[in-house]
């Protein structure tokens, strides 16, 4: 028998990926298990995005600054949130860069499944929508905050960022969520050890004028930094939980229950 040509192989691979993608999306839509526990546990949204704000890589010690135009967020006609379709779902188109291998693509699709099964967010393969997320293997893991209004990159560097919790972390940024340890009320829950924060990264620890709306501070949020993030000396703590310093922080397994509830409240998934 003739060996299949390279082109045929590629086409088959593509077909397989498309099929898998459809399957995954289909499966996840079949399980509407939205966790809405009323309004007592609600969300926080940054009431503004500072001018010249950057977005951050959080894993390891690499920071990827990315200038983002904040002005569009102040516009009355433009929202930083993704909009809801008539079917009540918030559809967010995406494309996945072809540099990722099948395993990595599946990891990305899998990370999106939790959003599908637990919230009204639906990541849908892009057809020709103007606003969409492009997963690309750039240098580091980073994302813009909220919806930009055009193509926006979620960078997941290969061999480091293509992991369940990190992917969800970056997608939460794209949905409009900031880092947990920068909440306006964080000083009641964590102590920032400024003396050990690398000078260049000080801005990563600055408090935000967040609207917390009685949301509990969540040490287990996938949006919380780890305790030695951006330390000037190896192993020194930049963030210490208070009053109990032994509380675990900085998990990157996946979204916490509160992370999920915040999405549902912010995007009014239960209405």
**Active-site residue list:** 170
User: Rounded to the nearest whole angstrom, what is the least distance from the CB of residue 204 to Zn ion in the complex?
Assistant: 9
End-to-end CA distance of the chain: 59
Query: Which residues, at least 6 apart from 15, have a Cβ–Cβ distance to it below 8 Å?
Result: none
DSSP string, 158-190: TTTT-SHHHHHHHHHHHHT---GGGSTTGGGTE
| Window contacting Zn ion (CB under 5 A); options: 56-64, 84-92, 151-159, 227-235 | 56-64
User: Rounded to the nearest whole angstrom, what is the least distance from the CB of residue 23 to Zn ion in the complex?
Assistant: 30
Tell me if 181 is assigned to a ligand binding site: no
Tell me if 173 is assigned to a ligand binding site: yes
Residue 49 found at the interface with Zn ion (CB under 5 A): no
Residue 58 found at the interface with Zn ion (CB under 5 A): yes
Radius of gyration of the chain (CA): 19
Alpha-carbon distances, residue 2 vs 7, 8, 14 (angstroms): 14, 12, 21
Q: Which residue has the tokens 């964590």?
A: 190
User: Rounded to the nearest whole angstrom, what is the least distance from the CB of residue 143 to Zn ion in the complex?
Assistant: 7
- What phi and psi, each to the nearest 5 degrees, are found at residue 109? -65, -40
Kindly provide the b/e burial profile for residues 37-74, where b requires at least 16 CB atoms within 10 angstroms of the residue's own CB: eeeebbbbbbeebeeebbbbbbbeebbbebebebebbe
Residue 63 found at the interface with Zn ion (CB under 5 A): no
User: Rounded to the nearest whole angstrom, what is the least distance from the CB of residue 13 to Zn ion in the complex?
Assistant: 32
Our CB check for Zn ion shows the closer of 57 and 269 to be 57
User: Rounded to the nearest whole angstrom, what is the least distance from the CB of residue 62 to Zn ion in the complex?
Assistant: 12
Our CB check for Zn ion shows the closer of 58 and 73 to be 58
Our CB check for Zn ion shows the closer of 56 and 135 to be 56
Helix axes 164-175, 257-266, angle to 10 degrees: 30
The residues facing 211 across adjacent strands are 45
Total interface residues for Zn ion by CB under 5 A: 2
Residue 141 found at the interface with Zn ion (CB under 5 A): no
| Window contacting Zn ion (CB under 5 A); options: 30-38, 57-65, 183-191, 259-267 | 57-65
Our CB check for Zn ion shows the closer of 31 and 207 to be 207
Query: Which residues, at least 6 apart from 156, have a Cβ–Cβ distance to it below 8 Å?
Result: 104, 108, 135, 136, 137, 141, 162, 166, 167, 170
Residue 161 found at the interface with Zn ion (CB under 5 A): no
| Window contacting Zn ion (CB under 5 A); options: 30-38, 54-62, 63-71, 199-207 | 54-62
Residue 197 found at the interface with Zn ion (CB under 5 A): no
Q: Is the peptide bond before 219 cis (omega within 30 degrees of 0)?
A: no
| Window contacting Zn ion (CB under 5 A); options: 15-23, 52-60, 209-217, 232-240 | 52-60
Residue ranges in contact with Zn ion by CB under 5 A? 56, 58
**Binding-site sequence positions for Zn(2+):** 169, 173, 179
**Binding-site sequence positions:** 169, 173, 179
């Amino acid at each position: 028998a003739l060996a299949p040509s390279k082109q045929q192989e590629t086409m088959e691979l593509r077909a397989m990926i498309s099929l898998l993608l459809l399957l995954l999306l289909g499966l996840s839509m079949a399980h509407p298990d939205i966790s809405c526990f009323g309004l007592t546990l609600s969300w926080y949204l940054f009431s503004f995005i500072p001018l010249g704000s950057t977005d951050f890589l959080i894993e390891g010690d690499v920071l990827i600054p990315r200038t983002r135009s904040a002005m569009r967020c102040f516009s009355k006609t433009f929202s930083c949130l993704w909009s809801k379709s008539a079917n009540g779902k918030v559809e967010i188109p995406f494309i996945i860069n072809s540099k990722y291998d099948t395993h990595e693509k599946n990891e990305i699709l899998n990370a999106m499944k939790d959003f599908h099964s637990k919230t009204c967010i639906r990541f849908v393969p892009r057809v020709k929508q103007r606003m969409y997320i492009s997963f690309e293997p750039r240098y580091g893991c980073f994302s813009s905050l909220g919806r930009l209004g055009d193509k926006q990159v979620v960078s997941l560097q290969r061999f480091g960022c293509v992991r369940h919790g990190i992917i969800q972390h970056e997608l939460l940024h794209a949905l409009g969520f900031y880092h947990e340890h920068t909440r306006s009320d964080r000083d009641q829950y964590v102590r920032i050890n400024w003396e050990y924060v690398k000078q260049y990264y000080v801005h990563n620890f600055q408090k935000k004028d967040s609207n917390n709306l009685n949301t509990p501070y969540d040490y287990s949020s996938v949006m919380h930094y780890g305790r030695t993030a951006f330390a000037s000396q190896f192993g020194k703590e930049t963030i210490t939980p208070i009053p109990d310093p032994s509380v675990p922080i900085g998990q990157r397994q996946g979204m916490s229950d509160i992370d999920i509830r915040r999405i549902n409240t912010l995007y009014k998934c239960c209405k």
